[in-house]
Amino acid sequence: MKLGFIGLGGMGEPMARNLLKAGHALKVYNRTRSRAEGLVSQGAIVAETPVAACSFGIVATMLADDPAVEAVVFGDEGILEGLAGGGVHISHGTLSVGLSRRLAEAHKLRGQHFLTAPVFGRPEAAQAARLLVIAAGAAEAIDRCRPALEAIGRKLVVIGSDPPAANTFKLAGNFLIASMIESLGESFALLRKSGVDPATFLEVMAGTFFQSPIYENYGKIIAGQRYQPAGFKLRLGLKDVRLILAAAEDAAAPMPIASLIRDNLLSGIAQGMQDLDWSAVARVAALKAGLES
């Protein structure tokens, strides 16, 4: 199939590469043009504007936050202007539920389709086309885009026809991951203060009661204190937790643990950790315990 792809950062660039490897034709746009030009050798066409990336009638976005999406969709020469009637906008990023609802309404008024398809996985999973893709939107639009959605991941899960549902799903999933990271950080701080090796603890726990790639992968990062290079920066983790809390407030669903994690992420940023991996929130627990890091 033919589609546009906007946003070629640490996640978007490998996703676009996998679409090209799967034989799809791509027009790519990125604010920093050199990132788009890096895909030309694989067959991509560089689009000069977001509008130009919409010429195939389907365009995917993988952008860092709500303001970036708003600029690309609603701004001059944006997606709303560029997509023809019946066109499809696929949003892969982690958006607020409120913006997702606004986008769905705006595209509907233009006779366009809006699909949300946020992904679970770090950059290495994106590179290996091993992302978990959670999609929501009109069934006919999902069927039309299914080849592209399946090309970027190991599994596609369709959860319904209402686009914001997939964003709520992603935020709830990110909350669980953040909670695991916070718990690992607190546990490891206790162990280190008590003279117990966190790596041994992780090996036992991850091999028995907590058999999960989240515990294993993040546990190794925290036990080894390897917070660079960042697969997902701490400042973006704070952005996601704020979105979680906003969704919780809108739904009148208190999430006190999310509030605690937000405060610890803020503490990390106050101590200059904003560009470390978001698992560096474990360093905050260590510092509170009187450990150097």
Active site residues: 170
Assign 33 to helix, strand or coil: helix
Question: In the structure encoding, which two tokens stand for residue 40, read together?
Answer: 């030309």
d(CA 216, CA 208): 11
d(CA 254, CA 261): 14
d(CA 132, CA 181): 19
d(CA 180, CA 12): 25
Q: Which of 34, 32, 38 is nearest to 14 (CA)?
A: 38
Q: Which of 267, 248, 250 is nearest to 258 (CA)?
A: 248
The answer to whether the beta carbons of residues 151 and 22 sit under 8 Å apart is yes
Q: For 59, how many CA atoms within 13 A lie in the half-sphere containing its CB?
A: 34
**DSSP labels for 206-221?**
HHTTT--HHHHHHHHH
Assign 46 to helix, strand or coil: strand
